Amino acid sequence: MSTKLTIILSFILIIIATGVGLTLSAQLPDPMPSHWNAAGQVDGYMTKVWGIFMMPLVTAGLTLLLVFVPQIDPLRANIAQFRSLYNFFIVGFVAYMLYVYALTLLASLGYDFNMTLMLIPAMGLVFIGIGYMMKSAKRNFFIGIRTPWTLSSDTIWDETHKLGAKMFMGSGAVVFLSAFLGESGVWLMMAALFAAVLVPIVYSYVLWKRENK
C-alpha cells in the first residue's frame, strides 16, 4: 500500500467516525464516559464536545506522526523496503483506535458491556499485525525492536526480529483467546505480552555477546 493511499484511507475512516459521533450528538449524555478500570467499569468522564472530537483528533495526530516520522530516519532507505507492510499497519492502527471510539459511543448510549473484554481481542489482532510486520522489518531507528544491540548489526537485527515476529504473533493469539477465559485470562494476557517484549530484548543481547566475544 502506498503512503498516499494510507493517508487517504486513514482520514476517510476518521472523517466517517467523526460524522457518526456528530450524528449521535443529540442522544449522547453530557458528560460522556471516557475511562474504564481493569474490570471494564466506567471510572472517568469528559464533556460531550471532547467525547465526540478527542479520539478522532488523537487518531489523526498519531496517524500523521506514524506516516511522516520515518521520513527523518537516517536509515529511511531500509524502511522503504517494508514500507508497504508498515502502511497497512497504520491503517490497522487507525481501525483499532476508531473501534475504541465506537465502543465509547455505544457505552455513552447506554449499551451495557465489559469494555475490557471488548478491547482484548482487538489488542490481540494488533499484536499479530505487529508480529507480521516484524518479519520484514529492516534496521532503523523508529520501527521494531530497537535495542543498542539490534541497531549495531544487521545480522542481530534480522535474527532478533525473526524471533520477535513469532513472539508477537504468538502472544497476539494468546491475548485474543484470553478474552474468552474470564478473569484468569487477564493474567495470561499480561504474561504473554511481557514475554513478547522481554524475550527479544534479551535475545538481542545474547546475539551481540556471541558476535563480539
The pLDDT, as a whole number, for residue 113 is 85
What are the residues whose beta carbons fall under 8 Å from the beta carbon of 48, sequence distance 6 or more? 25, 28, 29, 30, 31, 32
Q: How confident is the model at residue 69 (pLDDT cuts 50, 70, 90)?
A: very high
pLDDT tens-digit map of 6-41: 999 999 999 999 999 999 999 999 889 888 877 667
Please say if the pLDDT value at position 102 is more than 80. Answer: yes
Helix residue ranges, H only, the chain: 3-23, 48-68, 76-80, 83-108, 115-134, 154-178, 183-211
pLDDT tens-digit map of 147-161: 999 999 999 999 999
Cα dihedral 51, 13, 170, 204, rounded to 10, equals -90
Please say if the pLDDT value at position 62 is more than 70. Answer: yes
H or E, element range at 42: strand 42-46
Place of cell 451495557: 112
Distance CA 27, CA 110 (A): 10
Beta bridge partners of 42: 36
